[in-house]
Amino acid sequence: MATKFLFVTGGVLSSLGKGLAAASIAALLKARGLRVTIQKLDPYINVDPGTMNPFQHGEVYVTDDGAETDLDLGHYERYLGIHLGRNNNYTSGRIYHSVITKERRGDYLGGTVQVIPHITDEIKNAILGLAGDDVDLVIVEIGGTVGDIEGLPFLEAIRQLRADLGKDNVLYIHLTLVPFIKTSGELKTKPTQHSVKELRSLGIQPDIILCRSEVELSEDIKSKIALFCNVDKDAVFTAIDVNHIYELPLMLYEEGVDQKIAILLRLAAKNPNLDAWRQLVHELHHPQHEVEIAVVGKYVDLKEAYKSLHEALTHGGVANHARIRFRYVNSESVTKETAASILAGTHGILVPGGFGSRGVEGKIQAITYARTQGIPFFGICLGMQCAVIEFTRNVLGLERANSEEFDPLTPDPAIYLMREWYDFRSGCMQYRDPGCDKGGTMRLGAYPCHLRPDTLAYRAYDKPEVWERHRHRYEFNTAYAERLEAAGMIVSGTSPDATLVEIVELRHHPWFLGCQFHPEFTSTPMQPHPLFRDFIAAALSYQQSL
Ligand code: GLN
């Protein structure tokens, strides 16, 4: 069977949950025995989201192969339990970059390079690149909203693909909003009609319309949408608001969305086994415990910036039959004086990753509090670096210890920019000039980590080697390792050649661990990450000890 394609577009407004809907549909079709992969096409001009501020765009999600991608890839990996890569996310910027590079090289032999066909061909190649003998279905989510100028080349490309591949092989789903007007008690279909009209004016007739709504759409409303939008009546579905994002696959299944897709695309799909999803939703609704976790960071006003982290903590809760009460704390508000009052009553403290000096001192104060009060602590990337700085300052007594990122002239660079290091991913030595290096030199993607026996880390993973994803420039300075170790901070994970420190932890503390990598990227609801699982378990023990 040749690979088939399912395109998901969105209308009316953004933030309707298109990424989650695409991920949920993918999960359902996977549960039906199909080999599914998924791709996000983003209309913005950045070549990748790596340079984008999390305040504006939410987290930058990192894949095994070191691609910095849109956070929807995180949803895809969590719902599908598969690892994606660079080719699962393209931006307009990357498409244009590639075309312009070819133009400069003379590949177009003097031809006029145009949006149609050159940009659209490049987009089609990006999409078709995911097809293969081992893939039954490629789901492609088009970022943005129909009607945006930026998205036009993507829509034109997917329009052409139906003609190229045949109508049995290409299906279009359009997600819209059907607002409920409280004063009149009515559901309004006009925005959906307009959005579909816009899509049809671009030559795309959606096959399925998914209507995000607060309430169930009546048969009358569905008929009206079907009539005005020119789709089958049984191809209009309600995507009702759910309490928890992991209810979405079951909700769409109850509606029959995956069945309709299978029929329209003539997919050989069996009945899905959704026991694991039902079990998960049951756990989420019937927790036996509740623990409060403080996340002390700088992007706390925008939850999207900590998307994977939030999910990984939730998964860690599921593994312990616990619901997480999140307390997002702005690290800039934490000082020596305020730490106790701000953090009192939490059962675990987590300091996530981040860049730049803003809020760092507050993170360090929060870590002092966790360390001295015996509260479970989990530091991720910058959080781990802050834990090392805190210990170097307050236990080793090196008061001006810092990261070179925040104080390039610190006398004690406990965290520093390695001037040269061997990058096994590229097979090359990497050289950096601390004076002028910023972009392009991050350690990105999955790297191996060897674990030291008889440590929290080893107990969590229960194996000697793991691979975890990185996104940082600075590293633990091994010149301080011996002194830290003698004072109680041990190195429990390193690169195979022991030059890079990946995990540190405290000997005399119930649970205090910092990792240089981002374990939140590989946690899934079905397989919670062992470090998050154990952190939450420690938080529960701490709560019970009070
Ligand atoms: N800013 C730190 C570095 O570049 C940490 C990065 C992070 O937390 N992802 O090393």
Choosing from 358, 384, 473, 502 the residue with most ligand 1 atoms within 8 A of its CB, the one to mutate for a pocket test is: 473
Q: Which domains does the chain have, with CATH numbers?
A: 4-279 (3.40.50.300), 288-545 (3.40.50.880)
Pocket of ligand 1 (CB under 6 A): 353-355, 381-382, 385, 405, 471-474
Structural element, H or E, at residue 514: strand 512-515
Structural tokens at position 94: 């990357």
> Are 27 and 80 within 8 A, CB to CB?
yes
Residues labelled as active-site residues: 381, 518, 520
Closest atom of ligand 1 to CA, residue 471: 9
Closest atom of ligand 1 to CA, residue 380: 8
What average pLDDT does the chain have?
Answer: 94
What pLDDT sits at residue 140? Answer: 98
Which residue CA neighbors atom 1 of ligand 1 most closely?
A: 355
What pLDDT sits at residue 431? Answer: 73
Mean pLDDT along residues 26-53? 92
Q: Does residue 371 register a pLDDT over 80?
A: yes
Ligand 1 centre from 141 Cα, in Å?
A: 30
Choosing from 309, 442, 472 the residue with most ligand 1 atoms within 8 A of its CB, the one to mutate for a pocket test is: 472
Q: Distance (Å, rounded) from C-alpha 391 to C-alpha 540?
A: 25
Q: Does residue 362 register a pLDDT over 50?
A: yes
- Phi and psi at residue 284, to the nearest 5°: -65, -30
Mean pLDDT along residues 86-101? 96
Ligand 1 centre from 541 Cα, in Å?
A: 30
If one compares 307 and 303, the residue with the highest pLDDT of the two is 307
What pLDDT sits at residue 15? Answer: 81
Q: Does residue 57 register a pLDDT over 60?
A: yes
> Are 451 and 492 within 8 A, CB to CB?
yes
Ligand 1 centre from 38 Cα, in Å?
A: 29
What pLDDT sits at residue 508? Answer: 93
What pLDDT sits at residue 545? Answer: 95
Ligand 1 centre from 144 Cα, in Å?
A: 29
> Are 213 and 177 within 8 A, CB to CB?
yes
Ligand 1 centre from 382 Cα, in Å?
A: 5
Binned at pLDDT 50, 70 and 90, residue 537 comes out as very high
What pLDDT sits at residue 439? Answer: 47
Mean pLDDT along residues 145-160? 96
Ligand 1 centre from 151 Cα, in Å?
A: 32
Binned at pLDDT 50, 70 and 90, residue 434 comes out as low
Binned at pLDDT 50, 70 and 90, residue 346 comes out as very high
Q: Does residue 452 register a pLDDT over 80?
A: yes
Ligand 1 centre from 284 Cα, in Å?
A: 32
Ligand 1 centre from 258 Cα, in Å?
A: 41
Nearest to 291 by CA among 271, 264, 268, 318: 318
What pLDDT sits at residue 36? Answer: 97
| 246-293 tens-digit pLDDT | 999 999 999 999 999 999 999 988 899 999 999 999 999 999 999 999
Q: Does residue 233 register a pLDDT over 80?
A: yes
What does the H/E/C string look like for 342-402?
HHCCCCEEEECCCCCCCCHHHHHHHHHHHHHHCCCEEEECHHHHHHHHHHHHHCCCCCCCE
Q: What percent of the chain has pLDDT over 90?
A: 88
Which residue CA neighbors atom 3 of ligand 1 most closely?
A: 472
Binned at pLDDT 50, 70 and 90, residue 14 comes out as confident
Q: Distance (Å, rounded) from C-alpha 119 to C-alpha 479?
A: 51
Closest atom of ligand 1 to CA, residue 356: 1
Mean pLDDT along residues 82-109? 95
Q: Does residue 438 register a pLDDT over 70?
A: no
Nearest to 192 by CA among 146, 158, 156, 154: 146
Binned at pLDDT 50, 70 and 90, residue 299 comes out as confident
Binned at pLDDT 50, 70 and 90, residue 436 comes out as low
What pLDDT sits at residue 426? Answer: 73
Q: What percent of the chain has pLDDT over 70?
A: 98
Q: Does residue 433 register a pLDDT over 70?
A: no
Q: Distance (Å, rounded) from C-alpha 101 to C-alpha 458?
A: 47
Length of the chain: 546
Mean pLDDT along residues 307-324? 97
Closest atom of ligand 1 to CA, residue 475: 10
Which residue CA neighbors atom 6 of ligand 1 most closely?
A: 472
Nearest to 72 by CA among 96, 86, 53, 89: 89
Q: Does residue 128 register a pLDDT over 90?
A: yes
Ligand 1 centre from 442 Cα, in Å?
A: 9
Select, from the ranges 211-215, 267-271, 435-439, the one with the highest average predicted confidence (pLDDT): 211-215
Mean pLDDT along residues 350-354? 95
Mean pLDDT along residues 489-501? 96
Which residue CA neighbors atom 5 of ligand 1 most closely?
A: 382
Q: Distance (Å, rounded) from C-alpha 384 to C-alpha 353?
A: 8
What pLDDT sits at residue 27? Answer: 97
Choosing from 308, 363, 474 the residue with most ligand 1 atoms within 8 A of its CB, the one to mutate for a pocket test is: 474
